[in-house]
Amino acid sequence: MPLLLARIDDRLIHGQVAHGWGSALHPTLLAIVSDSLRVDPDRANLYLFAVPEGARGRVVSVAEALDPAFRDEVEAERTILLFAAPDDALRLLEGGFPLRELNLGGLHHAPGRREVLPYVYLDEIDRERLRAVQRRGVRVYAQDLPSNASHAIDTWVGEAT
């Protein structure tokens, strides 16, 4: 089974992911790719608590996610991959992990970030990283829920080339 969804969302596993996307996609594996959460099991468990029925959750580092065994696991399951920020997704791509699309589902307000959608705020570093993701041939689109509109991000981040 190909990857169901790869999503950048600073809330990681929460209502929109567990219920909104979960009820549309019926995932069996929710995998968070995050070096910082991988070494902070207490904080990781807060997110794993929210994994919906019928699925299991796990947290892997970028290096672990690049292990071929992890890719096999992703393909053996109905998988949603989650990143807290563009950085983790970009590093996974740079390591050779194949992503065709990347959903921008939630990057909320922080100092220096400007609103482009109610659930997407970007600063120049985010923009540069998203451009770099697109340069690798990945289609990046903003969409909070499966039933809501999808937006191309080109006008916010500039051309990829």
Query: What is the three-class DSSP state of 4?
Result: coil
How is residue 132 written in tokens?
Answer: 């770099």
At closest approach, how far in Å is the CB of 15 from other proteins?
4
β partners of residue 58:
31
Which residues 6+ apart lie within 8 Å of 125 measured at CB? none
With CB under 8 A as the contact rule, the residue among 20, 71, 151, 160 that binds other proteins is 20
Q: Which is nearer to other proteins, 87 or 146 (CB)?
A: 146
At closest approach, how far in Å is the CB of 125 from other proteins?
28
At closest approach, how far in Å is the CB of 100 from other proteins?
24
How is residue 44 written in tokens?
Answer: 């990781």
Question: Cα separation of 53 and 69, whole Å?
Answer: 24
Number of residues this chain uses to bind other proteins (CB under 8 A): 9
At closest approach, how far in Å is the CB of 149 from other proteins?
11
Nearest-CA neighbor of 80 among 107, 106, 51? 51
Q: Per CB under 8 A, does 141 bind other proteins?
A: no
Q: Per CB under 8 A, does 112 bind other proteins?
A: no
With CB under 8 A as the contact rule, the residue among 16, 79, 103, 134 that binds other proteins is 16
Q: What is the dihedral of CA 34, 155, 137, 98, to 10 degrees?
A: 20
Q: Which is nearer to other proteins, 20 or 128 (CB)?
A: 20
Which residues 6+ apart lie within 8 Å of 42 measured at CB? none
Q: Which is nearer to other proteins, 19 or 135 (CB)?
A: 19
Q: Per CB under 8 A, does 148 bind other proteins?
A: yes
Nearest-CA neighbor of 35 among 63, 67, 72? 63
Interface with other proteins (CB under 8 A): 15-16, 19-20, 23, 145-148
